[in-house]
Every structure is written in C-alpha cells, then in structure tokens.
Amino acid sequence: MFKPLGIDHIVLRVTDLDRMLAFYCEALGCHVERREDKIGLIQLRAGSALIDLVPVDSELGRPGGGAPGAEGRNLDHFCLRIEPFEEGVIRDHLARHGIEAGPVKSRYGAEGIGPSIYIEDPEGNVVELKGPGDGR
C-alpha cells in the first residue's frame, strides 16, 4: 500500500500568462523552475510542490475547453503553507502588489488548525495562504 505525502503539483489553465507569472513569482515568491514553451507549460517552484501554468490556447491547454472564469473555474482553491505567518507583514506585502486579502481565520489544514488568509490570483483562482497548525 502507499500513502500520500503532500501536494506534488497543481495545474492552472490561464489566459494571461504574464499577469499570472507576476502574481505567483513577484507577489508570492515562487520561481520558474522549468519551461516547455513549445507545448505550453511553465512550472513554478512553491516549496516542495509545483504550480503548473498552462495557457488555454497552448497544445496542453486546448483540450481543456474554454477558459476558466467566474462561472466555470477549474479549481475551488489550493493552499500554500507559508512561513512566517505575520498578518501585518503579509497584508503589507500583498497590498504592494495590489492584492486584496480576506480576513485571517483559523482553519484546519495538513498540520492541524492554524491561521490562514484567502486571496485571488489575477484570473480568479482562490489561493489560501496557511500558517502553522497546532498539530492536532
């Protein structure tokens, strides 16, 4: 038998690659690890996981149908574990990038109950930024 160890990667189909790269790299601190421009794949490193960006008009993106939007997203949300979780610092940083953040709430995650905050990327995908859990 096997057991899951964590999120390996997620794939987001995107319409504005430049805005998405700026959001994930400049605002959230990911970096481009690998590009396969011929087929339309940009892989961003996010700690031990990857976030794949696939333009909807690329070889990889076309089979997925229409572009994501408010009426048909490809994903409810995904969560990035961040450290340190200092609300004021997080809010100031996000504001400098024009990102509005929701309220901090205690939510259950892989490490137990801990603080988290929801934001949206430029194409409306919801991203949860999660602090440490209580271990329960």
Give the tens place of pLDDT for each residue, 65-109.
888 777 777 777 899 999 999 999 999 999 999 999 999 999 988
**What is the number of helices (H) and of strands (E) in the chain?**
2, 8
Spatial distance between the Cα atoms of 136 and 33, rounded to a whole number of angstroms: 34
CB 28 within 8 A of CB 80: yes
CB 88 within 8 A of CB 34: no
pLDDT in tens, 55-64: 999 998 888 8
Give the least confident one: 17-21, 45-49, 72-76, 127-131: 72-76
Q: Which residues contact 86 (CB under 8 A, 6 or more apart)?
A: none
> How many whole angstroms from its chain centre is CA 22?
12
